[in-house]
Amino acid sequence: MNQTSPFIIFTDFDGTISSQDVCDNLFFEFGDFNKVSELYSKLLERNITAIDFWEKSYSTIENLTVNKIENFIKSQSIDSTFFNFCKFCEINKISLNVLSDGMDFYIKSILEKYKIDLPIYANSCKIIDGKIIPQFPFTDSECKNCANCKRNHLLTKSRDEQIIILIGNGNSDFCPAHFADIVFAKEELLKYCEKENITYHPYKNFLEIELLLQKIIQAKPKHRQSALHARKSVFITE
């Protein structure tokens, strides 16, 4: 998509675009969901890194086959209002990007199922002998809470003058929320924004986001100063 708009959008996938958390469903169906839940608690408590979490979580999945994966992906759905949101972004020439700390194999397949073509930045994997071996092409040595550093994508894929919009719901969206000019939040991210005094807009689906963005675009917003300062500080530090 041609980036002619003063806005750029980065949206989470699991539980945001998808109707349910696909990773949760994956572990529930093929892995040890109880163990994964325990590991996630340790991640939230910052007792393990995101990479540790994913490697140990995916190690609970065994005897996976292509047929099982295909049937699983067929059973997954997305927010029905996301279709029109994509059209809204296309009409307004707003670059819409998918950022996920999940795996690109199911994100790509699910979006392809709905004939949606968007840039996707996520973790990757290999499936060897029935096991998922996670890989992390976008990790950052300083970031322990996400295997795919969403902050870096916000910084490197936007132009200085663009208003950065983040849409999310969970732990992997905590860090980038500090660097976005406009944040749409629900669930864990909403609670985090309230705790950290980050200005946010609550949402339930992409229709609500679209209706509010129509007003925001007309108002011609400026950069959120704390986010702008945070972005500049990263480059100064590095």
In contact, 183 and 200? CB cutoff 8 Å: yes
Q: Is residue 147 part of a domain?
A: yes
In contact, 99 and 123? CB cutoff 8 Å: no
Q: Is residue 110 part of a domain?
A: yes
Which residue from 168, 20, 180, 196 is spatially nearest to 100, judged by alpha carbons?
168
Q: Is residue 223 part of a domain?
A: yes
Q: With 60 as the cut, is the pLDDT of residue 238 above it?
A: no
Beta bridge partners of 96: 9
CA 12, 17, 21, 26 torsion-angle sign? negative
> What local confidence, expressed as pLDDT, does residue 1 receive?
44
In contact, 14 and 111? CB cutoff 8 Å: no
SS3 state of residue 72: helix
CATH of the domain at 171: 3.40.50.1000
Share the mean pLDDT of the chain: 94
CA 179, 184, 185, 190 torsion-angle sign? positive
> What local confidence, expressed as pLDDT, does residue 237 receive?
59
Q: Is residue 42 part of a domain?
A: no
Counting Cα atoms < 13 Å in the Cβ hemisphere of 35 gives 13
pLDDT tens per residue, range 202-219: 999 999 999 999 999 999
Helices (H), 59-186: 66-74, 82-91, 104-113, 150-156, 174-177
> What local confidence, expressed as pLDDT, does residue 141 receive?
82
Provide, rounded to the nearest whole percent, the portion of the chain with pLDDT above 90.
91
Q: Is residue 115 part of a domain?
A: yes
Predicted TM-score (pTM) of the model is 0.94
Q: Is residue 45 part of a domain?
A: no
Q: What is the 8-class DSSP label of residue 201? A: E
CA distance 110 to 104: 10
Q: Average pLDDT, stretch 24-51?
A: 95
Q: With 60 as the cut, is the pLDDT of residue 35 above it?
A: yes
Full residue range of the structural domain in which residue 183 is found:
7-19+78-126+135-237
Q: Which two tokens stand for residue 26?
A: 């994956």
Q: Is residue 98 part of a domain?
A: yes
Q: What is the 8-class DSSP label of residue 173? A: G
Q: Which two tokens stand for residue 9?
A: 């959008």
Q: Which two tokens stand for residue 3?
A: 């980036």
Q: Is residue 112 part of a domain?
A: yes
Q: Average pLDDT, stretch 25-52?
A: 95
> What local confidence, expressed as pLDDT, does residue 6 receive?
95
Q: Average pLDDT, stretch 5-30?
A: 96
Task: Pick the range with the lowest mean pLDDT from 74-83, 137-146, 153-162, 202-211.
Answer: 137-146
Q: With 70 as the cut, is the pLDDT of residue 43 above it?
A: yes
Q: Which two tokens stand for residue 234?
A: 């990263």
Instruction: State the pLDDT confidence band at 2, using cuts at 50, 70 and 90.
Output: very low
Number of domains making up the chain: 1
Q: Average pLDDT, stretch 163-183?
A: 97
CA 45, 49, 53, 54 torsion-angle sign? positive
